Chains A and B, each alone.
Chain A
């Protein structure tokens, strides 16, 4: 199925009302790992709204991204509990291992790094999440070991 068909399929799961715009774009984000321009244009037409309205949403909400993200998303929790237990040191470890900063994607497209607000697992601080797997009580020494697992799979 090409991009256009997939976009149409996602859009038509919802009634043509503005209140569903966020949900539709989130579905696109999940499907494509970003919001493709074609997706946003098709949605603007479907809802009968200006493209700029959707663009302002896509840039406002952190869950939406206009650039493709990596295959594996590393979320480093920087909630307060993680912060005082050394989340920024962990970030340094990831940056040293992969050469990417917060919000960046590795050149091979394997990893994206996101420093995120609280993930609600404060008792495990500091927490690192790769895709859906939680790594609690992380330390800078353990970072390469965890990342290598994903590199080997690739």
Chain B
């Protein structure tokens, strides 16, 4: 099929991909060129950093950072005459231009299962989903017994991708075993971990794989009603999924007679209210019921008593997107990928101070080093690596000594961090680990529902102490109090939010204690982030007098004369660090409190 694919996910749209797609349509249909190509707007291609991304099929020529002004040249050269526009290609490992996505080092190690259609099929097209084999798994499932379906899922070994890693097959089997109707299925699309956006990409780029997965789950446990709970901030995902449900109903994949089997399923989208805690299973169910989203103690699991006290299976978006693949290719095929205890692939959002940022899907068991250096290309500006934060606010900060650990559900957990939902934020020497811990605690203090005391009050106290340290009022005994608070919260909090909230503090205290001590004892922020503990100076030896820093300074605090060393006026300086980012010669240095 002769096609021009233009990525139209949020990242590429912000860089102007809608205009690029319109420009292609204009030229391709014009009398001047008159070529038979279709222009497809797709979901996320993952490599958001280099957007807008354009792929020319059937050759698979991948162009990056395509501007409206490049379109005419692409149509003329590539589409009409089969020539490459070299400057829009990416570079391979050897630094030479490469033609296809699979030769690009960002894509080469990837194995796509959950993202198999994202960025491939047109946004919102059920026909294209069907053409790639979509809904075949559902057609198969309606003629299988509950036990046959669940056995297949168990064989795959798939565990919940939302973070906890509970075996999906076991969850389904437990729910199927209760003779208590009506039962419910739900999809957790309340992707709240900052730094993770794989669920948004799947819901927008391939909503039918999630709907099909949810439908298969419903058939296996005997549920006739289901919900997709989607985060309030994701406007476009909410609209896309609502439309996809209507399309699936019109094609007979949902509704009163699924694929002619007589089985029923009614799905609805529930829009979240902007509360992080609603990503927790019991809080999410409260929210679907139209209540305040407070978690409850889980003496009785929601597979037994969930929505309206009836058996409910809740699965994450990415997990559900894998289900049709497993049903079609068999559980054993899926289980061939990954490690002993963590099967299949996992999608990661590789972001922060890494060269190639974006969404990647790799086999479980890949090491952090491979992810950051091979896929991600290393640290921006080749600065020193300091830490990688995994698992969102419940996760931890992992230092360089642990970069060779395999990434799966269990290994990171045994080191105080967790894989979590797959956010992976890379930090360099200019990220302050105390401030990062304060950031997460501040985040969680704002999101704690307030129901249980350890979480509500513990976070408040931790935040006060960490803020003191960041602002230069830290005391040596603070570190011991922090450790005590961490242990108390882990033991006594009601839900996972409170129990795992200490992780960012514990891991930074464990691996980066020297930074805490520098803040407290030397009144110095080694990363140059905490403003009360930082002053900026220009190193006269290194400064070449290029004026880049003076141009970047928002308060005109830098006196600059071309070719002469520049000077920062400390009275005007707001310590924002813009000069340090702008300097190409590493001439802007930080010192402790002035």
Chain A contact residues, CB within 8 Å of chain B: 17-23, 26, 56-57, 60-64, 78-81, 83-86, 89, 92-93, 116-125, 127, 132, 134-136, 139-141
Q: How far is the CA of A141 from the CA of B582 in the complex (A)?
A: 12
B290 interface residue, CB < 8 Å from A?
A: yes
Whether the Cβ atoms of B292 and A83 lie closer than 8 Å is no
Contact of A63 with B235 in the complex, beta carbons under 8 Å? no
Known A-B contacts A56-B292, A120-B200; A86 and B577 likewise in contact (beta carbons under 8 Å): yes
List B1-34 residues whose CB lies under 8 Å from chain A: 10-11, 13-15
Contact present for B357 and A122 (CB under 8 Å): yes
User: When A56-B292, A81-B352, A84-B425 are in contact, do A26 and B273 touch as well, CB less than 8 Å?
Assistant: yes
- 9 closest pairs, A vs B, by CB? A61-B273, A123-B48, A120-B197, A79-B194, A62-B274, A118-B194, A63-B274, A122-B351, A134-B14
Task: Tell me the bound Cα distance from A26 to B235 in angstroms.
Answer: 12
Q: Across the interface, do B290 and A122 meet the contact criterion of CB distance under 8 Å?
A: no
The CA-CA distance from A79 to B427 in the complex, in Å, is: 14
A120 close to B234 (CB less than 8 A): yes
Chain B positions within 8 Å of A, measured between CB atoms, are 10-11, 13-15, 48-49, 191-197, 200, 232-235, 270-276, 287-293, 349, 351-353, 357-359, 389, 392, 423, 425, 427, 431, 436, 439-440, 443, 447, 449, 552, 554, 574, 576-578, 581
- CA separation between A119 and B554, bound complex, in Å? 26
CA A119 – CA B196 in complex, angstroms? 9
Partner of A120, one of B15, B233, B276, B291: B233
How many whole Å from A99's CB to the nearest CB in chain B? 16
A117 near B290 (CB under 8 angstroms)? no
Q: Which residues of B contact A20 (CB under 8 A)?
A: 290
Jot down 11 A-B pairs with beta carbons below 8 A, ordered by A.
A18-B289, A19-B289, A62-B232, A79-B194, A79-B195, A116-B233, A122-B425, A124-B15, A139-B578, A140-B554, A141-B578
Most buried by B among A20, A78, A120: A120
Pick the contact of A60: B195, B273, B574, B577 (CB < 8 A).
Answer: B273
A119 and B357 form a contact (CB under 8 A): no
A26-B273, A121-B10 known; A57 and B292 CB under 8 Å? Answer: yes
Q: How far is the CA of A119 from the CA of B197 in the complex (A)?
A: 8
- Let me know if B14 and A124 touch, CB within 8 A: yes
Is A120 within 8 A of B423, CB to CB?
no
- Also in contact, A134 and B10, with CB within 8 A (given A81-B425, A84-B425, A123-B49): yes
Cβ contact within 8 Å between B288 and A80: no
Kindly list chain A residues whose C-beta atoms are within 8 Å of the C-beta of B233: 116-120
A3 to chain B, nearest CB (A): 22
CA distance A81 to B436 in the complex (A): 11
CA distance A85 to B443 in the complex (A): 17
Q: A84 and B291: CB pair below 8 A?
A: no
Cα distance A79–B442 when bound, in Å? 12
Chain B nearest CB: distance from A91 CB in Å? 11
Q: Are B357 and A63 in contact, CB atoms less than 8 angstroms apart?
A: no
Complex-state Cα separation, A119 to B234, whole angstroms: 8
CB proximity of B204 to chain A, nearest CB, Å:
10
* B277: nearest chain-A partner, CB-CB: A60
B554 & A93 in contact (Cβ 8 Å cutoff): yes
A132 cross-chain contacts in B, Cβ below 8 A: 235
A80 to B194, CA, bound (A): 6
Q: Could you tell me if A60 and B576 are in contact, using CB atoms closer than 8 angstroms?
A: no
A125 with B275: CB separation less than 8 A: no
**A19, B290: Cβ atoms under 8 Å?**
yes
Please name the residue on chain A nearest to B308 by beta carbon: A19
Do A23 and B389 touch (CB < 8 A)?
Answer: no
Task: Enumerate chain B residues within 8 angstroms of A23, measured Cβ to Cβ.
Answer: 270-271
With both beta carbons as reference points, the residue of chain A lying nearest to B529 in the complex is identified as A84
Within the complex, which residue of B290, B357, B449, B574 is in contact with A21, where a contact is CB–CB below 8 Å?
Answer: B290
- B293 proximity list for chain A (CB < 8 A): 60-61
- Which residues from chain A contact B440 at a C-beta distance below 8 Å? 80
The interface residues of chain A lying within 8 Å CB-to-CB of B272 are: 63
B276 x A136 contact (CB < 8 A)? no
Assess the B191–A120 pair: CB atoms within 8 A: yes
Given A60-B293, A81-B352, A86-B576, are A117 and B276 also a contact pair (CB < 8 Å)? Answer: yes
CA distance A141 to B234 in the complex (A): 28
Residues of B within 8 A of A119 (CB): 233
User: In the complex, A7 Cα to B193 Cα: how many Å?
Assistant: 34
* Further 14 A-B residue pairs, CB within 8 A, beyond A121-B14, A122-B352: A21-B290, A60-B273, A61-B232, A63-B272, A80-B351, A80-B439, A89-B576, A93-B554, A118-B192, A121-B11, A122-B423, A123-B48, A123-B49, A125-B352
A83 to B10, CA, bound (A): 19
Residues on B with beta carbons closer than 8 Å to the beta carbon of A63: 232, 272-274
What is the minimal beta-carbon distance from A63 to any residue of chain B, in angstroms?
4
Q: Which residues on A sit within 8 Å (CB–CB) of B554?
A: 93, 140-141
CB A98 to nearest CB in B, in angstroms, measures 15
Contact present for B574 and A92 (CB under 8 Å): yes
**Alpha-carbon distance between A137 and B439 when the two chains are bound, in angstroms:** 20
A71 CA / B411 CA spacing, docked (Å): 49
The interface residues of chain B lying within 8 Å CB-to-CB of A125 are 351-352, 357
Query: CA of A62 to CA of B449 in the docked complex: distance in angstroms?
Result: 12
Enumerate chain A residues within 8 angstroms of B351, measured Cβ to Cβ.
80-81, 122-123, 125
Most chain A C-beta atoms within 10 Å of own C-beta, residue among B270, B291, B389: B291
A118 touches B578 (CB 8 A): no
Residues in A neighbouring B431, C-beta threshold 8 A = 84
CA distance A81 to B577 in the complex (A): 17
